Structure 1
């Protein structure tokens, strides 16, 4: 699937949150429970970490243990604890706790300490190791849409090598990197924190994690805020093709926005003209990469990354406009930053192991070609990110059937034009969670609560966290103003 950054990862979002951080220091919490101390690699003032041993295999507790690293911030003596997952799958959680707690109003921050954690296989927890490549991946990368059988074979070979490396070096941990196991880890975290129920805030993939936990432990499920909700019924294979259409729709909104600011960027006076300029630039980069390292694939990556939040649109449009005017410095800087991020091994592990993927490449090719007719900018990009799953050596698991038992009511928050988690998935989750409420925001930004500074959205979240009170019915919120050029 298209790389979904954890909700604290975007530069624009992180900057906005950093400016809003509360200066009130936290204290290390609780005389019992976790032994809080310094965080691996350091942390902001007022953030503490602890280690928690959990079974490698929850079905076989005698098979050994692995370690989770938890992080906490807050007043210290707050009566409740909010556990946060920023998405992914496979994204680090440490750091999210401070961003969330510092964005809460005082009346909510007084009630909650905020805990996050690096999930199994990730970061400061027992990590998945898939081997280090001998050299950096070549840049420019091959175009995502194969131009020849040789290009397709080269990308397939790279995908196969990633799968083989993970299977060889991560063999012990890999079978146990599933959402079900991560949800069972959550239950041990809840118990270690001394909470009778789990209060949880999950973004994107975190909504799958939270509802998996709730299905396994409904009686232990407390107040759950689910933001940017993933479809409970779709497999990862199905998700990626629905993402393609949603990303293409969102790209159309970006092209229309750039057209409204044609005086600033000169990319075209209507959406079709901007898209034509964009595709011409893409073709030129495929033929002659900027700086020898920024080709069409790198431009595709930039577009996909910018569609998570419209705060990125001025920078993206300005970068491409500058390149077209002869100055590629900003383009090369952006491409270098994206190259440093890579695709986390744990993201692939959860994606490929959670549920089944086709192993016949002809199935992938046919489905991608069909999707590319509707989503030409994203279909092949998305397929190549997930392609190692076609060669994954570890058999896929059987995901928990979310909602197969009666679940407590939850608060669902979702943007109408979210590209990474399309609205139809949130609506299906609402059907499964019959007593819950869905708040839809007139926006396309991925991640709303606390990140958009939308008073309507945040008020719903704050009221629910404080009182457990949901809106009387499903409702809507206005989105924020589009960014200025």
Structure 2
């Protein structure tokens, strides 16, 4: 999945901070027994919240040369030192830091589950506090207001292609020795080293979004060591990263239409129309005005497009974005400018590109990209070109792609799959294909569109399925559904 630099790997950012801070410090202890890991203070530069313990683990850069160069993984842990089991978690991305997630997940588990599990997360290879990849200073390549995603002419398209090529070149210069080994297969092998270092015979695992691909890859490589596994917001195991972005586009467009319909319900608050069609027209008029006259000289239509895409991942963000646009239409651009300034800190995500560009083969002929994007834009005009430009450096990547692991076999034990019906980043059709690949697994679908269900969507039904499975190891008797969580009111 091609998640953007402006988004988190899972749509949990708004909910997680408060949940993590609610965990009493007395509940935490640095585990030392039955583990080869030494737990202590986390790196000051990491995202780890106060009260989280960290450790490091050396793993082979190249698993075909296990005695060769080693790289460092940084892990975090939260929970009870003497817990019966350990739940390893991944937030998605690819390329997202996981250091903060251990405490967030453990603090969100019900007491009967948190007493049974401590939670371990980690920055995957190439990411953050683990041995990271870098593309150097790319900030000057991304200016605000940015040019339109949808090129008006061949010259505009060429300019964006030049930026994509420069990003790929800088990544190669800064991290060329690492890039061939920043793959999902290697990250899965790293997880088996983590399992062994924790002293566990099997890996219990929770993976969101891209984390579902990582978990399914682990289960395929190490079926005999796979324990209880929850894959949430599930990627299509049959689609390449290139194909996945075109699967996302219509799903994102549908989600935007749901957002506009929601705004129409509150016309007395936002004053953008009483129907989805009227709100869509008002949104386009706002884009056109920002394109002609960027707010504050830096917030244009492209910045608004980025904010819209980010808000599609969870309806928790809908009120703030709608209010931001309504304020701008009333003459107050302060909130829009503040959000744009936060976007400016995003820029290029080197680790995300490293995984995406090497995990699968990408077309090298730009004519293929252009043709496919034009066709997608007819169905998803708000998102097609955006998705293409975020992944465009892969067209010029210097490191050759690897052959990905074909997910699934008769040896893989059944796992629990959790999914939203209208998830814009990992569409439902892909989750169903994962269900077919992992024989005997069970798929639970919530009637909503929020990306990231277990623990962070306040959906009691979905949480109950996850909690029951972690406690007992028993899957539902058959695939089933849950009622989705309604969008918030203004």
Could you state the TM-score of these two structures normalised by the residue count of structure 2? Answer: 0.96
Alignment deviations for residues 193-215 of structure 1 (CA, whole Å, 9 cap, x no partner): 00000000000000000000000
Give the alignment partner of residue 195 of structure 2, picking from 190, 193, 202: 190
Alignment deviations for residues 367-415 of structure 1 (CA, whole Å, 9 cap, x no partner): 0000000000000000000000000000011100000443101000000
- In structure 2, the residue matched to 1:322 is 327
The answer to whether 1:107 aligns with 2:109 is no
Q: How far apart are the structure 1 equivalents of 2:82 and 2:420?
A: 34
Give the alignment partner of residue 391 of structure 2, picking from 386, 409, 423: 386
CA deviation after TM superposition for structure 1 residue 16, in Å: 4.8
Give the alignment partner of residue 217 of structure 2, picking from 209, 212, 227: 212
CA deviation after TM superposition for structure 1 residue 18, in Å: 4.1
Kept after mapping to 1: 8 A contact 2:9/2:96 = no
The answer to whether 1:177 aligns with 2:179 is no
The answer to whether 1:358 aligns with 2:363 is yes
The answer to whether 1:234 aligns with 2:239 is yes
- Match of 1:88, SS state, is coil
Q: How far apart are the structure 2 equivalents of 1:20 and 1:376?
A: 42
CA deviation after TM superposition for structure 1 residue 47, in Å: 1.3
- In structure 1, the residue matched to 2:42 is 39
The answer to whether 1:349 aligns with 2:357 is no
User: In the TM superposition, what are the counterparts of 1:220-369 in structure 2 within 5 Å?
Assistant: 220-369=225-374
Kept after mapping to 2: 8 A contact 1:55/1:61 = yes
Q: How far apart are the structure 2 equivalents of 1:206 and 1:8?
A: 9
- In structure 2, the residue matched to 1:132 is 137
CA deviation after TM superposition for structure 1 residue 20, in Å: 4.7
CA deviation after TM superposition for structure 1 residue 216, in Å: 0.3
Kept after mapping to 1: 8 A contact 2:3/2:93 = no
Kept after mapping to 2: 8 A contact 1:214/1:407 = yes
Q: How far apart are the structure 2 equivalents of 1:147 and 1:329?
A: 29
The answer to whether 1:63 aligns with 2:68 is yes
CA deviation after TM superposition for structure 1 residue 248, in Å: 0.2
CA deviation after TM superposition for structure 1 residue 148, in Å: 2.0
Deviating beyond 6 angstroms after TM superposition, the runs of 4 or more aligned structure 1 residues are none
- Match of 2:345, SS state, is helix
- Match of 2:213, SS state, is helix
CA deviation after TM superposition for structure 1 residue 176, in Å: 0.2
Alignment deviations for residues 108-129 of structure 1 (CA, whole Å, 9 cap, x no partner): 1111110000000000000102
- Say if 1:424 and 1:20 are closer, same or farther in 2 by CA, change over 3 A: farther
- Match of 2:444, SS state, is strand
- Match of 2:118, SS state, is strand
Kept after mapping to 1: 8 A contact 2:40/2:54 = yes
- In structure 2, the residue matched to 1:26 is 28
- Match of 2:74, SS state, is strand
Kept after mapping to 1: 8 A contact 2:453/2:462 = yes
Q: How far apart are the structure 2 equivalents of 1:2 and 1:272?
A: 28
- Match of 2:309, SS state, is helix
The answer to whether 1:13 aligns with 2:18 is no
- Match of 2:120, SS state, is strand
User: In the TM superposition, what are the counterparts of 1:77-156 in structure 2 within 5 Å?
Assistant: 77-133=82-138, 135=140, 137-156=142-161
CA deviation after TM superposition for structure 1 residue 132, in Å: 1.3
Kept after mapping to 2: 8 A contact 1:84/1:200 = yes
Q: Aligned pairs, how many? A: 485
- In structure 1, the residue matched to 2:433 is 428
Q: How far apart are the structure 2 equivalents of 1:53 and 1:16?
A: 33
RMSD: 1.4
- Match of 1:223, SS state, is strand
Alignment deviations for residues 441-467 of structure 1 (CA, whole Å, 9 cap, x no partner): 011000010001211111111110011
- In structure 1, the residue matched to 2:404 is 399
Q: How far apart are the structure 2 equivalents of 1:22 and 1:100?
A: 14
Q: How far apart are the structure 2 equivalents of 1:13 and 1:147?
A: 39
Q: How far apart are the structure 2 equivalents of 1:137 and 1:352?
A: 20
- In structure 2, the residue matched to 1:165 is 170
In structure 2, the gaps of 5 or more residues are: none
In structure 1, the gaps of 5 or more residues are: none
- Match of 2:77, SS state, is strand
CA deviation after TM superposition for structure 1 residue 228, in Å: 0.2
- In structure 1, the residue matched to 2:414 is 409
